[in-house]
């Protein structure tokens, strides 16, 4: 397995943590959540830079952003009690399908 995908998982997790803390930072007026945001994005971009040594940028970014969007939407729904209507769920399903197509069928993802 390409170690870039392990780094990609770390980058995604860090970005999701950072984005989740943005709301709690209240416009960067609360120190603790603001530090989580800064550290999370720092870790995310560092690991994304490592990913790009072995995974094409278009593939890495598509997976990073797609998985991040889905996870943030789920956190918003489950934790923040933000509703997801049928259109939002359909959009999320299309994002998941797109990431799956890239990973399963694209020759670019194998490089």
Domains of the chain, residue spans: 3-110
Q: Express each pLDDT in 22-64 by its tens digit.
A: 999 999 999 999 999 999 999 999 999 999 999 999 889 999 9
pLDDT score of 109:
65
- Which of 15, 13, 34 minimizes the C-alpha distance to 23? 34
Higher pLDDT, 59 or 1: 59
Cβ(66)–Cβ(109) below 8 Å: no
Q: What is the pTM of this model?
A: 0.87
Whether 102 shows a pLDDT value over 90: the answer reads no
């Amino acid at each position: 397995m390409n170690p870039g995908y392990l780094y990609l998982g770390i980058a995604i997790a860090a970005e999701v943590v950072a984005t989740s803390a943005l709301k709690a930072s209240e416009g960067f007026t609360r120190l603790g959540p603001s530090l989580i945001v800064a550290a999370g994005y720092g870790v995310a971009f560092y690991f994304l830079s490592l990913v790009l040594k072995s995974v094409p940028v278009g593939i890495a970014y598509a997976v990073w952003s797609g998985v991040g969007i889905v996870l943030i939407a789920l956190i918003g729904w489950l934790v923040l009690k933000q509703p997801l209507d049928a259109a939002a769920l359909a959009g999320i399903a299309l994002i998941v399908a797109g990431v799956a197509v890239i990973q399963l069928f694209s020759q670019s993802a194998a490089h």
